[in-house]
Structure 1
Amino acid sequence: MKQMTSIRFWFIQTFMILAFIASLILFIGLQIYLYLFPDSGLTTTMTFWLWLYCFVIFTASGFYFSLRGSYLIKGRLTDILLFITTMRRGKFTDRMPTNEKDEIGLISEELNHLSEYLQEQVQSLQRLAEEKTELSKTAKSAAIMEERQRLARDLHDVVSQQLFALSMMSSASLRWFDQEPEKARKQLEQISEIAGKAQEEMRALLLHLRPVQLSGESLCEGIVKLIQELKHKTTLTFEASVDEIDHLSKAAEEHIFRIVQEALSNILRHADATRVKLFLSEENGYIHLYIGDNGKGFDIHEERMTSYGLKTMRERCEQIGGTYNIRSKENEGTYIEIRIPAMRRET
């Protein structure tokens, strides 16, 4: 069946039909000649053998030229097919000979140009991949350096100053211990308070340094585990409701978990809060996250609004298509509300 649909069979069929039509025309012409000139000396038998002889000649000639023509064209088309197969397998360095300037030769030239173009595209993709790798390394190094500088800044601005204050105040307390015990007692109370704040600051920094990955846990499990850890290590009281959200995309899980980490870290470091509310739920295709505290609050229009932690939370929220709102009032606390489309994990 494959041979019956090949270009060679089409050539032979076409030439045979042409030979038959030519023979038929010759036969009709001879019959007309006999009818118009009955005294020409030709007989019906003679015209039949003449037609049969011409028919054989026409058929043999058509068969020969059809085989010859189809062989040449099929060979050139086979070369094109093999060349296309080679390109499909990713080998773009080969080229086709383009000696002929007919239509098939023009197709061969265009295929050579296409192969050169694809080869250039592959090289461009390889260069882009290398550049992407280098940029990724550079971005990662820059992020690590920025995080180190931020932590160093936080340690210097808060913890190191608190430790220096503790050192100075403890030295003064030792001097006053025998002579002015009441003054030494008040100083020790201040030392205890500063030490507690330094401890809270270090816990916040350690919380921020926790890995983003959930280590195989679901988002709900990771947040509950984080809350339980803070309950044991801090004096914060939690009111929490964390719903299990199924089939959430990995990117959304990591960003939401990191937002929760950042928010709790800010509460530990800046809020002076005793109670934290945390609610995570899904409704109508959206994930709702609420985190609030009863701390000292701040003016959101001041420069502090542009702090690193708040900007990071906003950026992470926007990266997964969410909306971020923050409200705060001095001496009444702060809360954030986040609304994120439920980005499902592909299955």
Structure 2
Amino acid sequence: MRTLNHLSLSSFFTFVLSLTRTVSSASIRYTRELSIVGSDFFDQFNWESKNDPTHGRVNYLTLEEAKAKNLAYATEDKFFMLPDSENIVSPGSRGRDSIRISSKQAFDESVIIIDLEHMPHGCGTWPAFWTLSQKGPWPTGGEIDIIEGVHEAEQNLISLHTLPGCTVPATRYQTGETASTNCDTSFNFNQGCGTKVRHPGSYGKDFNALGGGFYALARSKEYGVKVWFWPRVALLAPLDVRFNGEAVNPDFWGPPTAYFPTGANCEYEEHFDAHMLVFDLTFCGDWAGSPSVWPASGCSPMSCNDFVDENPEAFADAYWEINSLRIYTPVSD
């Protein structure tokens, strides 16, 4: 964080305002509405087999197809989603078999906590855990990306994507690094407003090597959108996060990893409504396969699509292993 001597006066006041909003939200508590563990994912999510809207080299499967191919399965306390890592992909097909699911329920003001053991990573991959307006159509109602990256990225990118008229200050109450400030999907090729997680082990193989961790999203009309990350090994996650609390209070969790304040520059009710939760794993596509990203990845001299088609073994570690997903909704003190 820059010192006060290097902050512009306007940036300083913006920072103080965001801090004040954080402190003033201390009355908001949340009680557990839904806990999704193991085979609950089969009942609580819709399995989307449509064409990939981000133009990836992917063939999303129905629930029946995913079960038949053993690319989605559950134990008593874990849920797994995998891509095909055994077969060469036919040039005439949609792409490599994979999974995209969206929750049947949608949530507005809420806290969402994921206990994640393993996330997909590797050349050609573009995994994401995010929330999206159920009503839509996109980008109406907004999008919040909690976990997202490509190839062998080392930092998770947390971001918002909205209709025009939503921006966030560059300096705000968060531990992450501001990557962009305009959330408008029509600006800069839908970059959105993003925050990079500084903590090592927030994404990909480093996250998995540390035994995974916890991500938590809190959203409120009072303060906007906040996201926290805690690695599992450090035991830094609050007790109510680590031990499946009946109720949580994010105001005792310390500064968020990413903070997107709402207000005059981004009115909450104009840009966000009830969101469904989405997991997906696509390959290449608009980001991972773009002409500016794939050649710089160091993955292969062949095209991204050809790499995905011809190297099934490269996707052996590109799977989701989820311990639990919990949703909390606000109660008044």
TM-score under structure 1 length normalisation? 0.19
> Which structure's residues are more often strand, by fraction?
2
Q: Relative contact order: is structure 1 or structure 2 higher (C-alpha 8 Å, sep ≥ 6)?
A: 2
TM-score (norm: length of structure 2): 0.19
